[in-house]
Amino acid sequence: MQEAVCDICGREEETEFHAVVSCGHAVNLRKAMQEIWPLPPEDMLNFSGPEWLLMLIDRADADIAARILLVLWRACYWDTLFTVRHNGLEDVKGKKQVGAAHMPEKESVCRPWRPPDIDWVKIGAYSESSGEAGIGVVIRDHQGQVVLTGWKFISSASSAEQVEALACREGLALAAEWASLRVILESDCVAVIKSLKYPQHQRSPSTFIIQEALEEASLETAPSCCFDAWP
């Protein structure tokens, strides 16, 4: 029977909280980011139950909440990437270039976040899933300033791709209600972005969610929108 010990630090059980908060890798990431961004103090990052993240965000102001969401998401991403590469597993979130099966392998390079042009805003749709899931949305302007954030708990999800599609749908719904500028929706799930770009060719298990997301983007109140895969 395989032990549920963190593959990175080898010290604690690999719970969701450990992966994004208490693992040494996550701690070092926050220390590095604290030199650039104000983040919540470490004593606020404690496990208080299943809704610890919602409670943390509720106690922080909007800018700091958006930043800690991004840092926690990045810690989770690298934890997943390490597990995939270390154990030779398939990357179930679809973090691959379109048509990668027909291309020679090359080293993956994460590009830095790029701000949109003036008169545009960029929506970052993020997700974390393991049976139960959470999604987050951050809308930023051309200066990188946070315009709006949102988050939601998902009680059940059939796949990581479905959770990512739900995050994109939530981002487009927020844009339709609150954004007045043109929108770029950005996600790290290539499969979902491809389905949004080419809905007539999609065969995704998340077909209905993709359709609902596109309906949000086509509302009269919605700004014009384009889609981009990241990183």
Q: What is the pTM of this model?
A: 0.51
**pLDDT string in tens for the chain (231-residue length):** 345 677 667 777 878 888 888 888 888 888 888 888 888 888 888 888 888 888 888 888 888 888 888 888 777 654 444 443 334 444 444 333 333 333 334 344 455 778 888 889 888 887 766 556 788 888 888 888 888 888 888 777 778 888 888 889 988 988 888 888 889 998 888 888 888 888 887 777 788 888 898 888 888 777 888 888 875
Q: Residue 107's pLDDT is what?
A: 43
Q: Residue 104's pLDDT is what?
A: 39
The residue assigned the tokens 């007539």 is 200
Q: What tokens were used for 126?
A: 């993020």
Q: Residue 77's pLDDT is what?
A: 56
Q: Residue 99's pLDDT is what?
A: 36
Distance CA 81, CA 26 (A): 14
Which residue ranges form the domains of the chain, and what is each CATH number?
A: 16-89 (no CATH), 120-229 (3.30.420.10)
